[in-house]
Amino acid sequence: MSNSAVTSSPSMWGDDPRSPSGDARGVRGRPTISDAIYFVVLALAAVYCLKTYPDSMDYYERIILVATVPMLVWMGWLWRPLRTMTIVISLVALFAIWLYSPDGNLANGDINRAETVFFLKYLISSQSAILWMCALFVLATVMYWIGMASPTAAWIGSGLTWAAVYAGSIGLLVRWREGHLLGPDIGHIPVSNLYEVFVLFALMTALFYLYYERRYATRALGGFVLLVVSSVVVFLLWYSFTRDAHQIQPLVPALKSWWMKIHVPANFIGYGTFALSAMVGFAYLIKENGETTSWAKLSPVFILGVLLCAEPLIFSSGKFSATWMLYFGISAIIVGLIMAFRRPIAQRLPDLEILDDIMYRAIAVGFAFFTIATILGALWAADAWGTYWQWDPKETWALIVWLNYAAWLHMRFMKGLRGTFSAYWALVGLLVTSFAFLGVNMFLSGLHSYGEL
């Protein structure tokens, strides 16, 4: 898609961009009757859940459920497609819950029906839906890169990404219900282990990308951002098939807290947007160096790309090196191909100013949520361990991540940081964030050691 796409005509998205009900890209406008209807539907759904599953929620969980309603309404007002997504995945998840209920009573259910009911077995049980998510993300990545030459393929890539987000979201919701069907002490919100949070990470990264894709009317960044998501898919598939990580297990005592339900999602909004900003930074450097013939000038970009590819191999610490050596080789080749074909790729990317703006907005959103998550984590630590901060390795590296992006934003606001240096910084930030996310759990022991592989 050419750079002129960012000023495309209103017909691309249907509505007039100046319409008071919302612009042509599905973003904020004045509240309408549809917003009110959406609020009523969500409120009724919350009331139904409170009446149907009273024994599955404690006092704090009920508060979180009620607070979720106005939050989703507000988010749906900010970005209209989110309303459709919320309604569709809720209806499909309810359909799955109904299929688990042999007598039609949603309060009851039989987990064994996952192997006998067609839709559950092949489509919308948690594991089936998440596997569909994985396949769709990989296909979307391929189509986005083909879309560099064919706009139709890029459009298909966007559709596949949306389908993957729907499938993964349905999978997490159904997994939540499946846990309760396994036993009263097993059910929990599916953000408690490495498998579940990697699904959440993939969904957050893709969803924020889709927002910026529509906001700036360009699909040229999809191939870059989906590379990170596809890497997550590789890990999920390896982790699931070699460790049976998809099996739902009871929570360890340290995670039996309602703080987890708000701390972890906030954290992974931060992780997802930081990953997004890094890949936009990579695209920025490709765009900027599209015409250069000096490989010496390109070498820092290549080295950073290879280091990001090598992180899983480093984190493996010899446990699964064969798998991740292959991953590293393929990933390094992909980075090399992007560098080799930088000229035609750069011609398809949006203007540098747009890439810089997306990078900034992604980091700003991620920093806000990561700050909230860090505060919530401190409160959780005080509740669980009697102190807000103990300089545990995970806490220390979380602080390093926070300081890194705080410095990035400070330099932008105070010193006008823009362009090449900020893009390199965003890429380095992903290295730091990745180590805080996984490396600490691999190499450093501490109070968060329950996250080890």
pLDDT digits (tens, 9 = 90+) for 411-424: 999 988 888 999 99
Which one of 237-246, 256-265, 345-354 scores highest in mean pLDDT?
345-354
Helix (H/G/I), strand (E/B), else coil: 349: coil
**What pLDDT sits at residue 170?**
97
Q: Please report which confidence band the pLDDT of residue 14 belongs to, taking 50, 70 and 90 as the band edges.
A: very low
Convert the pLDDT of each residue in 356-402 to its tens digit: 999 999 999 999 999 999 999 888 888 877 888 888 888 888 999 99
Q: Tell me the average pLDDT of the chain.
A: 85
Sort residue 350 into left (φ over 0), alpha (ψ -120 to 50) or beta. Answer: beta
Decide: 398 and 416 in contact? Cβ < 8 Å. Answer: no
Across 245-279, b (16+ Cβ under 10 Å) vs e yields bbebeebeeebeebbbbbbbbbbbbbbbbbbbbbb
Which one of 28-42, 156-170, 306-320 scores highest in mean pLDDT?
156-170
CA dist 228 → 108, 224, 280, 318, 326 (Å): 39, 8, 11, 22, 16
- Domain spans, the chain: 267-453
**What pLDDT sits at residue 44?**
93
Instruction: Kindly report the pTM of this predicted structure.
Output: 0.89
Residue 423 CB-density burial (10 A; 0-12 exposed, 13-18 middle, 19+ buried) = buried
Convert the pLDDT of each residue in 51-67 to its tens digit: 887 777 778 778 888 99
CA dist 64 → 35, 68, 371 (Å): 21, 6, 19
Residue 315 has pLDDT above 80, yes or no: no
* Cβ-defined contacts of 40-46 (< 8 Å, 24+): 41/87, 42/69, 42/72, 42/73, 42/86, 43/69, 45/90
**What pLDDT sits at residue 284?**
96
Distance between CA atoms of residues 33 and 43, nearest Å: 15
Across 130-134, average pLDDT: 97
Using the structure block, give the residue that is written with the tokens 């296909």: 139
Decide: 285 and 346 in contact? Cβ < 8 Å. Answer: no
The torsion of the CA quartet 131, 133, 135, 136, rounded to 10 degrees, works out to 160
Between 355 and 57, whose confidence is greater?
355
**What pLDDT sits at residue 250?**
87
